Amino acid sequence: MSDKILPTTVVGSYPKPKWLNQLIREHSAGSIPDEVMESAYSDSIKAVVKEHELAGVDILWDGEMRRDEMTSYFADHIDGFTIYGEARVWGNNYYRKPSIVDELSYRDELTVSEYRNLRGLTEHDIKVPITGPYTIVDWSFNEHYRTKEDAIYALAEVINHELKALVKSGASFIQIDDPAIPTHLDELEIAKNSVEIATNGVEAYTGLHICYGDYSKMYPAVLDFPVDQLDLELANKGFQDISIFREHDFTKDIGFGCLDVHTKRVESVDEIKDNIRKAFEIVEPKRVYVDPDCGLKLLSSQVSFQKLTNMCKAAKELRDEL
């Protein structure tokens, strides 16, 4: 999709500025008017875009400033979902867990307005991340559909509608985020079907982001998913998964997670270069997209910026060497 060799990109989320988090809290407590909140979101996105540009990122996203979380944000905009309250994920971490209470149908834009807004802010290429139907259903309660599978396919139709609308608005690179796929390997076929439905007739370059899983159990089967790119988390596990992907011909482009987002340590340019070189053991350089393992939102802005800067420098140096 990209003309440049080793294009750099992000997976999606970026740390929210402290002032934005504060304003979100005050807004939900009712002490800040909607229009102020709206302009805060808008300004924070400008700041993120500038940071990404300064770091040297080629293919941008808006840092997901408007998304509180990757399930409920979408559920809030799709008919058939309701959210009764929060459910625990671990420790003191909770999320607003949606319930499917009626037939799922398209109501309003999920990502199109985010895309349009960003298009007006940068000349760079844009990648639009959207949570996959498999993951949204897996992280929701199902009150309506007879089976989980039925719910997933119904939601995949809704997502398909959105992806087509995105393409119509000019989007050319869409990433489906499906971190739940590796957690139920017995449902890989259902997950594949859901991606097939979601991307059917979508004239864009598509990627699939999967993380936190045992790739050995889903490879090479995952090559059958109808996407152009697999975006993988590799740094977190010290690149030990490379050997898995060498066993079969890797027939897709790779989004190569070369930064560990679970550590505050900023990897050096040389270290990242070595990391990226490992991708060449799997595919030729022109099929490699350089990015962090996952969204950066759990790190501080400073650390995120330094990591991205070093990553982009590393990609540039390698590009020059190749």
Partner 1 sequence: MEYALSTIGSYPRPEWFRDYLRKQEGLQKDSRGVVDESYMKAVGEVLGEQRNAGIDLLTDGQLLWRNMLCHLYDNMEGFRLSGLIRYFDNNMYYQMPEVVGKVERKKSLILDEYIAACSVEKKIKPVLSCYSLVDLSRNKFYGDESEFLMDVAGVMNQEAKALADAGASIIQVDEPSLLYADKEGVEAAGEAFEVLTKGVDSSFILATYFRDAKTLYPEVLDYPFDVLGLDFVEGLDVNLNIIKEHPTKKIIQAGVVDGRTTLMENPSKVKELIDSISGLVSGEKLFLSPNTGLEYLPYVKASEKMGVLSASVD
Question: Which positions lie near partner 1, rule CB under 8 A?
Answer: 84-94, 97, 99, 138-139, 141-143, 180, 183-184
For partner 1, which is the closer residue by CB, 36 or 185?
185
Count of beta carbons in the 10 Å neighbourhood of residue 85:
8
* Identity of the residue numbered 138: D
Counting other chains too, the contacts that 27-36 makes at CB distance below 8 Å and 24 or more residues apart are: none
Q: Are 207 and 231 in contact (CB under 8 A)?
A: yes
Cross-strand pairs, 60:
126
State the nearest-atom distance from the C-beta of 232 to partner 1, in Å.
19
| CB of residue 34 to partner 1, shortest distance in Å | 23
Spatial contact of 63 and 48, defined as CB atoms under 8 Å apart: yes
Shortest separation between residue 97's beta carbon and partner 1, angstroms: 7
Question: Using H for helix, E for strand and C for coil, what is the string for 159-178?
Answer: HHHHHHHHHHCCCCEEEEEC
User: Toward partner 1, which CB reaches closer, 183 or 251?
Assistant: 183
- Triad 290, 52, 267: Cα angle to 5°: 55
Least distance in Å: CB of 148 to partner 1?
11
Q: Which is nearer to partner 1, 8 or 140 (CB)?
A: 140
What is the 8-class DSSP label of residue 8?
B
Q: Which is nearer to partner 1, 88 or 168 (CB)?
A: 88
Measured CA to CA in angstroms, residue 121 lies from 115, 136, 193 at distances of 10, 29, 35
**Is the Cβ of residue 12 or residue 213 nearer to partner 1 in the bound state?**
213
Distances (CA, A) of 38 to 24, 57, 65, 69, 231: 10, 26, 11, 18, 32
Query: Which CB, 90 or 321, lies closer to partner 1?
Result: 90
